[in-house]
């Protein structure tokens, strides 16, 4: 069983995404105001902090899909997926400020706000075959994935976790252990290649082989933990149906399936609320985060009550599910629905993906809705991280923000706030068309 598709976690050759598109510390080249702030920052923040771009961006204002630097220059933001309904959304500010002036008790007191929001959130899953019926709030995707793995272990009576080779599921707890893109990994984690070839059967076979290997190591398979769009592995959204056989393979091995919707969720893929639902599959546990509160720290594990019940230790999270962050999350749901942002993501995303395919060729482009990836190759057809970095820097000069992902950092990552307009996308495609001849062969 443990054939060629099985490669150990530590041999995955993961690229640390932090090193892609990072400020390398060339302080002397910066403008004085930026230089002074970078110096002050380096003097007080821990050494793990990184800035993006060779010339870091000093953000003083943000609105919709735009960031403004200290000099008032406007940047089209095609990268930030946390402010899903747009930067500095006035309705979020208003709802949060109201909750802050009323009350913000933790969840051991009664508060209608958290109940109301949980009801509304569960409605977004109602179209699924076996919809989840309970919510456990957390503050971050890290906490949600850590807890989801603990619950899966308790429910499965097993320990091992299968992830993909460049997955990112969080920065701490069991989530970072299960993130080959940042951590060296533990023996109970096994990483399989993401299905970049779009072959559901081959992907399922590698999950089965991984489960067999985890059995051989004595851990067994507690969970298959998958980002529903493989966003840290280079973005894989198609074909529809891609996830079904892999889910079945994990279950055949006695494991549960955790759908990590931290990046693909909340309508970004332009086809319903959740990335897994797009593939017609039913996870056992679903984790939510990033855009959930438009920048306020709120995240969740969503599942069925009998699965939650398997986890015995008390779980209480002081800041999670309080009226302030719930007010932001409720506003996000309301605005996505009222402004038709899922349909908007679908139509504007189709324009984006079509334009990228026209410029780079259909084979280089993956994605759905407003999550797009473009593989950048050299003239010989090899991945070209240098050209990717050059393109990102050129776009930065033209006041358009994107970044890179994937093995080797040679994949352009594009995931704007959902409120980006057709005109914004057209402008981006025009600038790309202008810059590309100078950068890519």
- State the minimum distance, in angstroms, from the CB of residue 380 to a copy of itself: 31
What span, in angstroms and rounded, lies between the C-alpha atoms of 372 and 257?
Answer: 25
Residue 16 and residue 182: Cα distance in Å, rounded?
Answer: 6
User: Smaller CB distance to a copy of itself: residue 134 or 351?
Assistant: 134
Task: Between 197 and 312, name the residue whose CB sits nearer to a copy of itself.
Answer: 312
Residue among 178, 192, 154 at smallest CA distance from 8: 192
Q: Please work out, in degrees rounded to the nearest 5, the angle formed at the alpha carbon of residue 39 by the alpha carbons of 36 and 43.
A: 140
**Shortest Cβ 53–a copy of itself spacing (Å):** 9
* 99 contacts: CB under 8 Å, gap ≥ 6: 113, 323, 324, 326, 327
User: In the complex, what is the shortest distance from the CB of residue 288 to a copy of itself, in angstroms, rounded to a whole number?
Assistant: 13
Please list, in sequence order, all residues whose beta carbon lies within 8 angstroms of the beta carbon of residue 395, skipping any fewer than 6 positions away: 401, 402, 431, 432, 435
Residue 7, CB-side half-sphere exposure with 13 Å CA sphere? 13
Q: Closest CB to a copy of itself among 300 and 370?
A: 300
Q: Within 13 Å of residue 299, how many CA atoms lie on the same side as its CB?
A: 26
If you write DSSP's letter for every residue of 212-231 in order, what string do you get? HHHHHTT--EEEEEEETT-G
Whose Cβ is closer to a copy of itself: residue 102's or residue 434's? Answer: 102
Q: How far is the CB of 298 from a copy of itself (least distance, A)?
A: 8
Nearest distance, CB of residue 95 and a copy of itself, angstroms: 10
Q: What's the angle, vertex CA 17, arms to CA 214 and CA 11, rounded to 5? A: 35
Nearer to a copy of itself, 205 or 332 (CB): 332
Tokens in use for 49? 């902090």
Residue closer to a copy of itself by CB (options 237, 331) is 331
Kindly tell me which of 142 and 405 has the beta carbon lying closer to a copy of itself: 142
Please give the structure tokens belonging to residue 358: 């026209």
């Amino acid at each position: 069983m443990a054939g060629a598709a099985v490669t150990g976690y530590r041999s995955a050759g993961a690229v640390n995404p932090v090193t892609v598109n990072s400020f390398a510390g060339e302080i002397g080249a910066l403008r004085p105001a930026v230089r002074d702030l970078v110096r002050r920052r380096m003097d007080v923040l821990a050494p793990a902090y990184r800035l993006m771009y060779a010339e870091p961006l000093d953000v003083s204002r943000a609105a919709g899909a735009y960031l403004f630097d200290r000099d008032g220059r406007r940047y089209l933001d095609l990268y930030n997926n946390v402010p899903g309904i747009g930067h500095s959304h006035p309705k979020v500010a208003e709802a949060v400020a109201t909750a802050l002036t009323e009350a913000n008790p933790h969840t051991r007191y009664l508060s209608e706000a958290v109940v109301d929001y949980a009801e509304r959130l569960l409605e977004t899953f109602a179209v699924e075959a076996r919809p989840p019926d309970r919510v456990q709030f957390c503050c971050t995707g890290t906490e949600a994935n850590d807890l989801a793995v603990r619950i899966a272990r308790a429910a499965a009576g097993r320990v091992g976790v299968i992830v993909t080779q460049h997955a990112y599921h969080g920065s701490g707890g069991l989530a970072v252990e299960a993130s080959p893109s940042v951590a060296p990994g533990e023996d109970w984690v096994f990483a399989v290649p993401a299905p970049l070839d779009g072959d559901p059967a081959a992907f399922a076979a590698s999950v089965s082989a991984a489960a067999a290997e985890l059995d051989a190591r004595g851990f067994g398979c507690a969970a298959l933990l998958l980002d529903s769009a493989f966003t840290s592995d280079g973005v894989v959204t198609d074909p529809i149906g891609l996830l079904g056989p892999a889910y079945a393979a994990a279950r055949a091995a006695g494991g549960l399936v955790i759908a990590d919707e931290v990046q693909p969720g909340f309508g970004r893929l332009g086809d319903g609320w959740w990335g897994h639902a797009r593939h017609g599959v039913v996870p056992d546990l679903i984790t939510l985060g990033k855009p959930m509160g438009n920048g306020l720290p709120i995240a969740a594990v969503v599942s069925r009550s009998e699965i939650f019940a398997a986890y015995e230790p008390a779980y209480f999270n002081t800041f999670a599910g309080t009226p302030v962050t719930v007010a932001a999350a409720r506003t996000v749901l309301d605005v996505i629905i009222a402004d038709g942002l899922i349909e908007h993501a679908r139509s504007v995303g189709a324009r984006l993906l079509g334009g990228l395919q026209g410029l780079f060729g259909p084979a280089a482009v993956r994605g759905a809705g407003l999550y797009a990836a473009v593989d950048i190759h050299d003239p010989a057809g090899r991945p070209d991280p240098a050209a990717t970095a050059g393109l990102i820097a050129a776009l930065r000069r033209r006041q358009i923000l994107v970044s890179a992902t994937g093995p080797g950092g040679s994949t352009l990552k594009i995931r704007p706030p959902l409120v980006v307009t057709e005109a914004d996308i057209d402008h981006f495609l025009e600038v790309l068309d202008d810059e590309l001849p100078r950068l890519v062969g």
